[in-house]
Amino acid sequence: MKIAFVGKGGSGKTTLSSLFIRHLAACRAPLIAVDADINQHLGAALGLDEAETAALPAMGAQLPLIKDYLRGTNPRISSAETMIKTTPPGEGSRLLRVREDNPVYEACARTVRLDDDTEVRLMATGPFTESDLGVACYHSKVGAVELCLNHLVDGPGEYVVVDMTAGSDSFASGMFTRFDMTFLVAEPTRKGVSVYRQYKEYARDFGIALKVVGNKVQGADDLDFLRAEIGEDLLTTVGHSDWVRAMEKGRPPRFELLEETNREALRTLHRSADSSYDRRDWRRYTRQMVHFHLKNAESWGNAKADADLAAQVDPSFVLDERLLATPQPA
Ligand SMILES: Nc1ncnc2c1ncn2[C@@H]1O[C@H](COP(=O)(O)OP(=O)(O)O)[C@@H](O)[C@H]1O
Ligand SMILES: [Mg+2]
């Protein structure tokens, strides 16, 4: 299943993503971690040092390779150049699976070692560099993640955890609809809650499963505030963590030493994510990617590619778990 952590900058998206990733890895779950924030912090939160974080390949820089691989033999996509971030898979496209090796992972993913010989594959959008000051570049960078998610077929018990960028950027694309579960991280503040309200509006329009994780919650007053403002969407809360503080200093204790209340919160997230997968509707998932593709094609893609990109849609294709067992097109 695909899981996103969203919320205001500084609320704890990266921290909670990394804790959840460590939790899943400790459960020996097959897993891919994605840093979709241009401010690359997930690698560090998973224990990479500065040099290792800087050496992570940027998905944004690998777009030609990604497109060429995913396009496969799909006759509706004539070239990698005409493929945009929302181009949906169809007959002949190659798909990504959580448990496999493929050229996309080879180019973009790095294995990060965690406790007890557990490890996780990490992919990163890539940092925002001086040369990216043009808006289009920024979107194409984040687009690599969306393209991969749209071509990723995952089964139950397999996880893709995405640390999302702050702000409402993901609403312009279809990115925010690509998840079985979206965890919105909110501090017990008016700002934290207002980001939740905004997200909730979009979530409602697109039938997105959204749960709030309160973070840096201290005492009954904080909890009362979140309960009153968020109601039943409040899934669980995480308190201030000395474990996280130690990790920030570059000295993470063993993961099993994370405070028990915070470990329990992670188990709650895990259960909630698992139950969301049972409600997954592949047809709707595919329909939504087509919806956002047509929207993007019309607003800028057709002009950029000088072609009618609506023709890329394969009307009979449904991204589906059964494709897990189908061999990849040559
Ligand atoms: N539960 C927590 N306990 C202690 N420190 C936390 C906790 N959650 C977040 N932090 C700290 O708050 C800061 C911002 O968190 P971060 O995860 O980077 O936010 P975001 O990714 O949403 O911008 C970091 O320094 C992080 O270590
Ligand atoms: Mg972050």
At 217-242, the pLDDT tens digits run 999 999 999 999 999 999 999 999 99
- pLDDT confidence bin for 29, thresholds 50/70/90: very high
**Interacting residues of 162 by C-beta distance below 8 A, sequence separation 6+:** 2, 3, 4, 5, 17, 34, 36, 145, 149, 179
Q: What percent of the chain has pLDDT over 70?
A: 93
Ligand 2 centroid, distance to 85 Cα (angstroms): 23
Ligand 1 centroid, distance to 278 Cα (angstroms): 31
The ligand 1 site (C-beta within 6 Å) comprises 7, 9-15, 41, 215-216, 238, 240-241, 244-245, 248
DSSP assigned state of 58? B
Beta bridge mates, 181: 3
CA distance 238 to 215: 5
With respect to residue 95, please indicate whether it lies within any of the assigned structural domains.
yes
Nearest CA to ligand 1 atom 9: 12
Looking at the CA of 10, which ligand is closest? 1
Note the pLDDT of residue 202: 86
Looking at the CA of 36, which ligand is closest? 2
H or E element in which residue 311 lies:
none
Q: Is the pTM of this model over 0.85?
A: yes
Note the pLDDT of residue 23: 97
Residue range 154-168: mean pLDDT, rounded:
87
139 has pLDDT over 70: no
Note the pLDDT of residue 131: 52
Structure tokens at 213: 């994780």
With respect to residue 213, please indicate whether it lies within any of the assigned structural domains.
yes
251 has pLDDT over 80: no
CA distance 282 to 286: 6
Helices (H), the chain: 13-26, 42-45, 50-54, 63-71, 103-108, 135-150, 169-172, 190-206, 219-230, 242-248, 260-278, 282-296, 302-305
Ligand 1 site-directed mutation target among 6, 14, 15, most atoms within 8 Å of CB: 15
With respect to residue 328, please indicate whether it lies within any of the assigned structural domains.
no
Question: Structural domain of residue 31, as residue ranges?
Answer: 2-322
Residues with CB under 5 A from ligand 2 (ion): 13-14, 41
Strands across the sheet containing 210-214:
109-113, 119-124, 31-35, 159-163, 2-7, 181-186, 210-214, 234-237
269-293 tens-digit pLDDT: 999 999 998 888 999 999 999 999 9
Ligand 1 centroid, distance to 68 Cα (angstroms): 37
With respect to residue 71, please indicate whether it lies within any of the assigned structural domains.
yes
With respect to residue 6, please indicate whether it lies within any of the assigned structural domains.
yes
With respect to residue 327, please indicate whether it lies within any of the assigned structural domains.
no
Nearest CA to ligand 1 atom 14: 10
With respect to residue 313, please indicate whether it lies within any of the assigned structural domains.
yes
Instruction: Please tell me the total count of domains within the chain.
Output: 1
With respect to residue 329, please indicate whether it lies within any of the assigned structural domains.
no
169-203 tens-digit pLDDT: 667 678 889 999 999 999 999 999 999 999 998 88
CA distance 323 to 325: 5
CATH of the domain at 205: 3.40.50.300
